[in-house]
């Protein structure tokens, strides 16, 4: 067994022990997860399973505890946790298309409310450290979820496409219906973590994160409010974002130092995002 796989297995088996012995106020290290690359170039899409990209909160179940991608515990009701199986699962806490803000408010509460959590589903799409190819792990996930038999645990629908035209048609259908985009997972891929072309994302616009550097004042109708944000990407590129904000957000913009998510069409030769538009403040899940 490689060191990385051993580390994943130790994390999965000892997650509750780590939680028990972590000092109050300190967060656990983020668990290793598979992260998507962007679909570009001449990729043979027939080699991939395709699913809708859900607009929710990534969560990892280690068989005993449920955590966000940051490593922080999810404060879910006892009945929600009790219905989950012994096998590790990777997925998304989700309500429905266009319901991210509502979902965020529910899952971030320290004291969970049953009536809110009845709306939440754990949509699983991967089996951490699972054996075999992704196609085989899909079958395994379906069997695990069927045995659990609880309505809040579901498998994300996976399907195949015949060609790029069929993929584009499904993307158009999902986006028209209010969805974000599509995810492509290579059918023959073993379980891996980190950023990998085993998992690709396809959206009408790209999205990424940046840090707020400064608030720039508005003019005209926006006088007295924030006009745009000066932000910096992880690669050190600084630029302004002036669109995508409501008046409420302009009156109380994301604070300096916070992380935001924005969408953009492409990059200039200098690496500056073109047609960047604010999407939301990035939550520390």
In the annotation, is 176 catalytic?
no
d(CA 246, CA 76): 31
Question: Residue 272 in 3-state DSSP?
Answer: coil
d(CA 253, CA 241): 12
In the block, which residue shows the tokens 């043979």? Answer: 44
* Tokens matching residue 102: 């509502």
In the block, which residue shows the tokens 């300190």? Answer: 26
Distances (CA, A) of 23 to 64, 70, 284, 285: 19, 16, 19, 19
Distances (CA, A) of 110 to 72, 77, 84, 104, 122: 12, 10, 20, 12, 18
User: By the 8 A CB rule, do 79 and 86 touch?
Assistant: no
- Catalytic choice (53, 110, 121, 201): 53
Which residues are CB-neighbours of 45 under 8 A, at least 6 positions away? 161, 163, 164, 167, 184
Which residues are CB-neighbours of 132 under 8 A, at least 6 positions away? 140, 190
Distances (CA, A) of 90 to 79, 84, 187: 19, 12, 17
Cβ neighbours, 10 Å, residue 150:
15
Q: What stretch of H or E contains 7?
A: helix 3-20
**Residues with catalytic function:** 53
């Amino acid at each position: 067994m490689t060191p990385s796989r051993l580390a994943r297995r130790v994390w999965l088996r000892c997650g509750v022990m780590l939680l028990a012995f972590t000092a109050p106020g300190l967060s656990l290290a983020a668990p290793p997860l598979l992260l998507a690359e962007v679909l570009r170039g001449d990729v043979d899409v027939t080699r991939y399973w395709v699913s809708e990209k859900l607009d929710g909160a990534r969560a990892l179940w280690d068989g005993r505890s449920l955590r966000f991608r940051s490593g922080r515990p999810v404060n879910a009701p006892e009945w929600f946790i009790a219905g989950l199986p012994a096998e590790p699962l990777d997925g998304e806490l989700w309500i429905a298309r266009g319901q991210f803000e509502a979902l965020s408010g529910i899952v971030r509460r320290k004291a969970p409310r049953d009536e809110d959590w009845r709306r939440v589903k754990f949509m699983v799409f991967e089996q951490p450290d699972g054996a075999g190819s992704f196609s085989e792990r899909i079958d395994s996930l379906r069997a695990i979820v069927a045995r659990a038999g609880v309505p809040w645990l579901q498998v994300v629908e996976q399907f195949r496409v015949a060609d790029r035209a069929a993929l584009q048609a499904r993307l158009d259908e999902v986006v028209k219906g209010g969805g974000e985009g599509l995810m492509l997972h290579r059918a023959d891929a073993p379980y891996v973590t980190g950023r990998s072309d085993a998992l690709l994302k396809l959206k009408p616009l790209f999205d990424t994160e940046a840090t707020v550097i400064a608030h720039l004042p508005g003019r005209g109708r926006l006088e007295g409010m924030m006009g745009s944000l000066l932000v910096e990407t992880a690669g050190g590129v600084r630029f302004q974002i002036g669109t995508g904000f409501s008046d409420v957000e302009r009156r109380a913009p994301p604070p300096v130092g916070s992380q935001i998510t924005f969408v953009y069409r492409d990059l200039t030769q200098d690496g500056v995002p073109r047609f960047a538009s604010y999407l939301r403040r990035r939550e520390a899940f």
